[in-house]
Structures are given as C-alpha cells and as structure tokens.
Structure 1
Amino acid sequence: MTLLRVAWRAWRVFVHLLRGLATIVWLFPRLTPAQRDLRVQAWSAAMLLRLGVTLHVSGQPPAIGPMLLVCNHVSWLDIIVLHAAHHCRFVSKADVGRWPIVGRLATGAGTLYIERSSRRDAMRVVHDMVQALRDGDILMVFPEGTTGDGITLLPFHANLIQAAISAPAPVQPVALRYLDRHGHTSQAASYVGD
C-alpha cells in the first residue's frame, strides 16, 4: 500500500472517530436506547469499511436480550467487529474509559468498566451486569482477560459469568477469527497480551 493510500485511510479513520465522538456528545442525549444501539452498529460497520475489513458472520446474532456473550479476544479491532455484527455492551478494563476519544466512545456505547486488580470491584461489576441483564441488555465479555493470538484460547477467568447465573440469562459463545484475503487464518490483527 502506498504511503498516500495509508495517509488517506488514516485521515478517514480519524475523521470517523471524531464523527463518532460528536454523535455521542450531541446526538445521543436525544436518542432512545434502541436508536443509540443502531447508531453504534452503523458507526462500527462504517469504521470497518474505512479500515478495509470485511465482516462475515456465521450464525445469527441474538435479536434481543438478556444474553451474555463470551468471546475470544484477539485485538482492539474485536470491539468494532462485534458492534458491527450486533450492538452489545462490553465489560472492559477501567483503563479504556480513561483513554482520549476511545474512552468517550466506549462509555457512550454503554461499556461497563472493571478495575481488574480489585476483587471488590469485580463484585460491583457482576452486580451491574446482573442489573443490565435483567433490563434486557446483551453483554459481551472476553473471559481470557487479555488478547490472544486468535488461534488458541487462553485460560478463562469465569468470575464475570456469575452475572448470567444470578440474572438468570443465557450464555452464548462467540468466536472471532481474522482471515487474510486468501481465506487463511491471519494474525495481522492480533495484539497478544495487550
């Protein structure tokens, strides 16, 4: 890819990030939750186009909640990919909420944050997840707790799954796999251990 094409793609991604931020700040307060969900899904699909990523979904995403989705975690790209398939609320490390632009986007999309080093905070987040599930939300967790290579699974940290037991709500597994243009598994998107 030529330098000019890379610069153009980077510019389009940056402008799209700013559009998302403006939407969350000025438009979201006037929208219903269902309208916000549709905006997040459309914004994510448009971001994938700008990044040159094609989404293929096998199976049917859940139409309505409550549901807890559990997924392998490969990359920062996972969140955009999963939102493009179907809006859901993520449970994320608290650091993400403090990141410039991205933190505001994640918070606007309904992300629940957890201080991973605090057991007390894990209990709080499970309580918040139970309430969200009882309200009919679809939640997404990455039980590996970090990113893997996209080929093998890391050990699961299952404490957040307690929310589905307590709510009660069904648990749906989701698998992410990134392919190159020839259909072979690709590790290009992976950020192992991030």
Structure 2
Amino acid sequence: MIWLRKTRLILLMLRGMLICATVFPWASVAMRERLIRNWSRKLLKLCGVEVEVQGLAPGQPAPRGAMMVANHISWLDIYVIHSWHPARFVAKSEIRSWPLVGWLCEKTGTIFIERGRKRDAHRVLHHITEVMRDGDLVCVFPEGTTTDGTEVLPFHANLMQAPVAGGLPVQPVGLRYLDAATGEPTAAPAYIGDLSLLDSLDMILRSPPIKARLVVGQMLHPMSDNRRQLAGFAREVVADLARADLVAAAASVSRAHQVEAKGADQPATV
C-alpha cells in the first residue's frame, strides 16, 4: 500500500535527520560516506528503485578529487549517485528551504549557490576547487534543469571553471530510468514541468518497479583554459553514457583529449 510506503519513507527521513544531528558531528569521512550510502539505498528500495552500475571494472574504486557531471532527470538522481558513491552536490539555494530534504542536503555536504549573483558564483567556484583538491567528489548537473531523459540538454559552462582552474579531472556519468521488467525507458521518475515533489513521489510509488542505470565513463582531463569547450565535450560523453554506449563515450573522451591538447599548445591571447 502506498500510504504504508510513505509512512516508512517519513520514518526514514526522520532517522536520517537524527543520524545527521547526533552522529555526523564526530563521524569520520568514511563513516559518513557509509551512512549516506546505506540510507540512500534504503530510500531507493522503499521507492521501488534498484540501481545498476555500468562502466567500472571489477574492483575499480570510485573517483575522488574530481567533478562529476551527469544528466538530470529526477530528484532521485542524487540518491542513485549516493548509493554508488556519496558526493557533494551543488544545488540552488532554494532547496535549503525545502522541508526535511533541505536540512538533510545541507548536513550531507551540499554546496548551495545563489543563482544570478556573480559574487556568490565566484565564492562557490573557489570552494568547489578547494574541496576537490582535498579529495572530495563534487557532483553538478550542468543542464541546469531536469528533463524526461530522452535527451541531454546543452551544458552550462560556469561551474566547469573549477576543474579548469584547478587542473582537476571531470568524471562523466550517464543516468537513465528503465522499467525493471521490460528494460524500456520510463518517465515515472521525471521531475519536470509543474509537478510538485509529492506528485512526483506518487508517480514513482504507483509505477512498476524501476531500474536506475548509472553508467560511469572515462575521466576527462582539462588541458586548456576553455571551459565552454570542456562543457561541450562533457555533454557529448554524458549523452553517450545515458544511452549506455561505452564505445562511443570512450571515443568522445579520446577526441576531447586530442582537441584539448592542441588548445593547450596554443599561446595565450590577451
């Protein structure tokens, strides 16, 4: 019954808040990551979502000290990624005011940015670069909005300045939600249009079991100072990964590195 699953979700949220308030202040980084991963997996299970990770060799560790870029379909994206490897997300400041969710996001390391304020954008860029240099994985959704998952929109380049300035890698990831029984794409998790968070949750809970496919590609290594070019290449790779086309994604990464290397050899212009 949906009402029972909703009740269990509320209890899980409250349990998460209790852990953040009482355990996180003294917990090690490894313990925090383990708690976030386990909590996210429980949330997805209650929502009827199983996660399938592709693209990593057996035993290959998740990346650190990098910027993860992914296409954006649903609020579930955050927990799908957390269930694989906890990351620090960059989100609009309005989310901080969301009941329960905003508080949990803040306590689990979300970096909030006030859109439209250049000064705040500069602050966030410096902060992102610092935490990546410290070994954190920072995740952004460069499309700037959610889609139904059938296409990947152009990437905004602003936040790509952080890996460019810091000489840090970019980890592309592709997301797609599928009907677990048929393997066909499903729009049930898509958080688009005027849909409210509660309406979105109802759609997810009423749908057949869902498989969230998370495809991890090869890293992009910035070699020039052209953030727009890097954003374009990152979008191309993410679009390949969202289709689970690892061969095309690898070719896109190779092409990006060739072009980036040529750009790095060019003299700087004033």
The TM-score range, normalised by the shorter chain, is over 0.9
The superposition leaves residues 149-187 of structure 1 with CA deviations (integer Å, 9 ceiling, x where unpaired) of 111011211110111112221101111100013110111
Paired with 1:97 and 1:123, the residues of 2 have a C-alpha distance of 20
| 1:32 equivalenced with 2:28 (yes/no) | yes
How many residue pairs match? The answer is: 190
CA 1:130/1:153 → structure 2, altered by over 3 Å: closer, same or farther?
A: same
Other-structure match for 2:184: 184
8 Å contact kept, 2:89–2:138 = yes
Residues 63 and 171 of structure 2 are in contact (CA less than 8 Å); yes or no, is this contact kept in structure 1? no
Secondary structure of the structure 1 residue equivalent to 2:138: strand
Select the structure with the greater relative contact order (CA < 8 A; seq sep ≥ 6): 1
- The residue correspondences of 1:95-110 to structure 2 (distance < 5 A) are 95-110=94-109
Cα distance in 2, alignment partners of residues 47 and 108 from structure 1 = 17
* TM-score, reference length from structure 1: 0.94
Identity of paired residues, percent?
45
- What is the match of residue 113 of structure 1? 112
Give the unaligned 5+ runs of structure 2: 195-270
Q: CA deviation at 1:102?
A: 0.6
Question: Structure 1 segments of 4 or more deviating over 2 A?
Answer: 60-64
User: Unmatched 5+ residue regions in structure 1?
Assistant: none
Q: Which residue of 1 aligns with 2:93?
A: 94
Amino acid at match of 1:32: S
Instruction: Report which of the two structures shows the higher radius of gyration computed on alpha carbons.
Output: 2
Q: What is the TM-score with the length of structure 2 in the denominator? A: 0.68
Query: 2: CA distance between counterparts of 1:163 and 1:6?
Result: 43
Matches within 5 A, 1:2-17: 5-17=1-13
**2:167 pairs with 1:171:** no
1:41 aligns with 2:41: no
CA–CA separation in structure 2 for the residues paired with 1:191 and 1:145: 13
CA RMSD between the two structures: 1.3
Correspondences of 1:49-128 after superposition (within 5 Å) = 49-60=45-56, 63-128=62-127
Structure 1 residue aligned with 2:151: 152
